[in-house]
Copies of this chain bind each other. A is one copy, B any other.
Amino acid sequence: MKIIRHIENPLITPKNIKPSRPDMEVIGAFNCGVTQYNNETVLLIRVAEKYKSPSVSIVGVPMYDVTQKKVVIKLFDKRNGSIDFNDPRFVKTKDMLYLTSMSHLRLAKSKDGINFIIDEKPWLVPSDYYESYGIEDPRITQIGDEYYINYSAISQSGVVTCLAVTKDFVTYEKKGIIFLADNKDVVIFPDKIKGVYYAINRPVSAYFQRPEMWMSTSKDLESFGNHQLLCSLREDRFDDTRIGASCVPILTEKGWIEIYHGASKDNQYKLGILLLDKDDPSKILYRSEKPWIESEMDYEKNGFMPNVIFPCGLIVKQDIVSLYYGNCDENICLLTFSLSELLKSIKV
């Protein structure tokens, strides 16, 4: 089947994003939730920023301070031998792990799905302890006239998944944590199935370290239960180390199409396809044997985290699917394909 990467890729880069404040610089504009609202394509972009340190010997860690109710910069001296600065993404003290960048979510809108008007200011921002190290990787599920936005929230307590809801992409209501640490890569199905909501999620055990896809259900999108392992790692394949749901599932006549990401020990993130039973999406009808999409283009192979293809959302218009994906944890790209061609390629 034909997969068409957009000629203008990457469509959005950090250069297109205004920093949230003068002492911060944008280092990533990637992993965006996607939906349609008012005949426009809406992206909710993960914007990662880091502190512009005035000195090479000082590292500043941005974090939301609950008492002051704002983002503050915690400074660390690189000459302090008791602190570990080896991985530029982290600062590690004896007892604490800090992140050197912090993400918020930024709105962008487009009439054609290609040329976006990006908000100058953050939209969904950290506002409590659980979000104090930032919020990341949103997915948007439309249910009736409401848009449910789930996202990863990071704090000393770990990576949890939170939920917010909006009707107009102007105001939103935060609903709190729906999956406890560590759990991310959550996608909520766009409708109840036989009376319950389904959500794929990705818990990970500190001891056993097998990040795999689970299915949970909910009557009200507040409490989740009925947890089951949905999809495991596969030895010696592209998805042998880490997998997670990427996009909100698409309902087709054959069942639910779930586009997921898988990584091997080399940290290359590739995409796979699951077909899930229409009436019981905890049943897998098909799983792609080989990567469905992997890094091919220069812009996919070179960047902040090379060879990472990571979509968080898509739009279906008639038969054409527009998939927006983060590449290299840095930019946003677009590819399109025919849904019917994809379905034809799936033999069940």
Contact = CB atoms under 8 A, between A and B. Distances in A.
B227 A158 contact: no
A73 interface: no
Interface in A204-218: 204-210, 212, 214, 216-218
Interface string A94-116: 01010000000000000000000
Nearest to A217: B223
Contacts of A157: 203, 205, 208, 210, 212, 229
Contacts of A181: 203-205, 208
Given A181-B205, A206-B209, A209-B206, A129 B229 contact: yes
A160 interface: yes
Nearest to A96: B208
B160 A204 contact: no
Contact of A227 (B176, B205, B228, B229): B176
Contacts of A158: 203-208, 210
B222 A226 contact: yes
A210 B157 CA distance: 6
A180 interface: yes
Contacts of A225: 176-178, 222-224
Interface in A144-163: 155-160
Contacts of A121: none
Contacts of A97: 207-208
A183 interface: yes
Contacts of A228: 176-177
A197 to B, nearest CB: 10
A277 interface: no
A263 to B, nearest CB: 14
Nearest to A214: B180
25 contacts: A156-B210, A157-B203, A157-B205, A157-B208, A157-B210, A157-B229, A158-B205, A158-B206, A158-B207, A160-B227, A179-B180, A180-B180, A180-B183, A180-B201, A180-B214, A180-B216, A180-B227, A181-B208, A182-B205, A205-B206, A206-B206, A217-B223, A218-B223, A223-B223, A223-B226
Given A158-B205, A223-B225, 6 more contacts: A129-B229, A130-B229, A157-B203, A180-B183, A182-B207, A223-B223
